Chains A and B, each alone.
Chain A
């Protein structure tokens, strides 16, 4: 198994993690543990949101950059780790 698979498996095995996905810079999913329609939806929406968040941070301070984005909702928490080329999205249910 490749290192990529191992890392993703490790993340997925954390308690409460509902799904994990890796998306490229354009919002096209590369790896996912959820079904296709959900993945596509999450990828599209979160990609746009991450772009917006990043531009917000950089507008305020051009030397700054977005490192991590956590969205807490009633039901679960969505964590987005952005990069120049990829996006890692993890959805976790924090309280059982």
Chain B
């Protein structure tokens, strides 16, 4: 309780501390003391006592039982063939079946055939969850475009790839726009300019975020599916180049908008502006190149990572991949070979070579990661397949290949929500990324560990793949090598099938993301769709378009849609459910040839398509709702269409056979007729000749009579002449 002057009522109170022992009587102490009233002395104790002769101490160690997994192996009981036969004769079974099928089963089956009683009509009425945007809008909308303004030489874009995990990041490989003769002529000048892969981000259309340097122009490149920081590219000179951008991963993940776009409220004078590290594009040197002598000799036209579920050995046999990373590549090149490469260090066969290497140790710049140092300049392919054309000394020149176990970035187990297709891989990669940041070992830093495990072969693995060539052929062949009986060398097998359907080089061979055995091939002026296993020909072969087709890609979410780019800058959008004889839509994108098309799903609402043109500009367009969202049962409908086409092909084959038969029969008939005429006997012929002669005489007579040159004989009456 405190008291104050009235005037201070309501005023704030100020409290302060001071030491209690410094002031007398500031506190009262209650100390503890023993109270005699509460102490009780124990006077009695009750204890049992026994006399025993001996004391024994026994102890046992018990076994700690812990849960163990136990299993039982069993196999089901089955009847033998004779017993089954016996059952077939037994009367009880016959009676049972008759009774049951008549009374219950057939009725139930028919009920189901008539109508599906469990359909929720209300649910089936609504086709889509809700449409965003105008349904009638079917055009691709321009979103952004990227051009490299810094480089002065005229460049073209050769390959485009979206970053698998980072939103809005797209990588583009550029090459100079020169013909072979010009390249040779200006080779000195070209050496000075670096060949680049540019990383563009949506937030900054002027400055590329990263620039990867390579020794020569890249014509195709791919992100590693299991680690997006590893990029591999194929050069024009036949080398494979690898980059490891793990060190710069943070830079590209958090990209701030460039200062040039935002308008700051307070304008700072130029000399106070700090150099923003984001604005300077970083040049990243490659960390490994393949060996020049042992690799390809000409431009690498296509490069793929092999799926992380399998790996192959020198013979082309397939084994399980124990390390859960993609560690093998396949490339095809204009020198008519297909090579398989392994990025793990191979055991050196001759120890002398390692010593030699130690002497001439190459100094690597400090900022290059040493992930692939073991490969640099000494990287040899695992196997090389030479694609010869059989007896002739000519060889096929592959332009693109498509393997069966391609690491699909899209899984089609999605149901109505079509956009969850891209999430499984992205989530896996993001989870991997997080794990690596926490401190786990990046498997790519420790590639040697994977080699120690013994490999288990995989049976029933299809080692066949599709390949497109420069002559416009589509070839279905096997990559497994076999030993030539004469020379004992390993040789590539002969192609299983070869089809010539295109009038120009095939530039796209792609499996549908929804059906593992449907392949799209585009080349020259037409498009063809193939089904693996159907040998008589393509399911669909379009008629020649007015303009040459120069690039193409399946749609990622709609199974019947694919995009084709033309040489006049138009993009043709084909929809197999709408029209199969011509594209459903055509849209102008740019003024020059389209060199690459790559669609990508960025989120559930946004799907973009990247279109690269010949003049080096990358256009990003947004795919409208109608083109990206599949209708209900679209997968089934398109599948149905393909099955119809297969049946049609079979029908055509059957008709061919029937026609052949008919033709044969007709030939036989003609033969028989001819034979009949020859069988006439000599007398008959003479009689016939005589008859002809008599007829001729008659004719002669009548003509001469009519001319008045012969006097009518008395036998002929006057009336006859008239």
Binding site for B on A (CB under 8 A): 2-5, 7-8, 10-11, 14-17, 22, 24, 26, 28-31, 36, 40, 43-44, 67-68, 70, 72, 77, 79, 81, 83, 85-86, 88, 90, 92, 94-95
A86 near B84: Cβ-Cβ < 8 Å: no
- List residues of chain A with CB within 8 A of the CB of B132: none
Enumerate 28 A-B pairs (CB-CB under 8 Å) in ascending A order. Answer: A3-B97, A3-B98, A4-B94, A5-B88, A7-B97, A7-B101, A8-B97, A11-B109, A14-B109, A14-B110, A14-B113, A15-B113, A16-B109, A22-B93, A28-B79, A29-B78, A30-B93, A44-B76, A68-B105, A77-B112, A79-B105, A81-B101, A83-B99, A86-B93, A88-B96, A90-B109, A92-B112, A95-B119
- List residues of chain A with CB within 8 A of the CB of B713: none
Determine how close the nearest CB of chain B comes to the CB of A6; give it in whole angstroms: 9
Indicate the member of A31, A77, A81 with the most B CB atoms within 10 Å: A81
Extra A-B contacts (12), CB below 8 Å, given A29-B78, A31-B87, A88-B96: A11-B101, A11-B106, A14-B106, A17-B109, A22-B93, A24-B87, A28-B77, A77-B112, A85-B93, A86-B93, A92-B112, A95-B119
Given A3-B98, A30-B87, A79-B109, A68-B93 contact (CB < 8 Å): no
Q: How far is the CA of A88 from the CA of B96 in the complex (A)?
A: 9
Q: How far is the CA of A67 from the CA of B96 in the complex (A)?
A: 12
B109 near A4: Cβ-Cβ < 8 Å: no
Indicate the member of A7, A17, A36, A72 with the most B CB atoms within 10 Å: A7
Binding site for A on B (CB under 8 A): 76-79, 84, 87-89, 92-94, 96-101, 103-106, 108-110, 112-113, 116, 118-119
Q: When A and B form their complex, which 8 residue pairs have the shortest distance between CB atoms, in order from nearest?
A: A94-B112, A81-B100, A40-B76, A68-B104, A14-B109, A95-B116, A7-B97, A30-B87
Q: How far is the CA of A14 from the CA of B88 in the complex (A)?
A: 21
With both beta carbons as reference points, the residue of chain B lying nearest to A36 in the complex is identified as B78
B118 near A4: Cβ-Cβ < 8 Å: no
Given A2-B89, A7-B98, A30-B79 contact (CB < 8 Å): yes
- List residues of chain A with CB within 8 A of the CB of B103: 67
With both beta carbons as reference points, the residue of chain B lying nearest to A40 in the complex is identified as B76
Given A28-B78, A85-B96, A10-B112 contact (CB < 8 Å): no
- List residues of chain A with CB within 8 A of the CB of B99: 83
Determine how close the nearest CB of chain A comes to the CB of B634; give it in whole angstroms: 16
Q: How far is the CA of A15 from the CA of B112 in the complex (A)?
A: 9
B112 near A16: Cβ-Cβ < 8 Å: yes
With both beta carbons as reference points, the residue of chain B lying nearest to A89 in the complex is identified as B105
Determine how close the nearest CB of chain B comes to the CB of A72; give it in whole angstroms: 6
- List residues of chain B with CB within 8 A of the CB of A30: 79, 84, 87, 93
B84 near A90: Cβ-Cβ < 8 Å: no
Determine how close the nearest CB of chain A comes to the CB of B83; give it in whole angstroms: 8
Determine how close the nearest CB of chain A comes to the CB of B701; give it in whole angstroms: 79
From B76, B104, B110, give the contact of A67 (CB < 8 A). B104
B97 near A22: Cβ-Cβ < 8 Å: yes
- List residues of chain B with CB within 8 A of the CB of A83: 96, 99-100
- List residues of chain A with CB within 8 A of the CB of B113: 14-16, 94
Determine how close the nearest CB of chain A comes to the CB of B529; give it in whole angstroms: 24
B84 near A31: Cβ-Cβ < 8 Å: yes
Q: How far is the CA of A23 from the CA of B17 in the complex (A)?
A: 92
- List residues of chain B with CB within 8 A of the CB of A43: 76
With both beta carbons as reference points, the residue of chain A lying nearest to B98 in the complex is identified as A7
With both beta carbons as reference points, the residue of chain A lying nearest to B107 in the complex is identified as A68
From B77, B79, B97, B118, give the contact of A88 (CB < 8 A). B97
Determine how close the nearest CB of chain B comes to the CB of A31; give it in whole angstroms: 7
Determine how close the nearest CB of chain A comes to the CB of B222; give it in whole angstroms: 37
Q: How far is the CA of A55 from the CA of B393 in the complex (A)?
A: 77
- List residues of chain B with CB within 8 A of the CB of A17: 109
Q: How far is the CA of A14 from the CA of B99 in the complex (A)?
A: 18
A2 near B88: Cβ-Cβ < 8 Å: yes
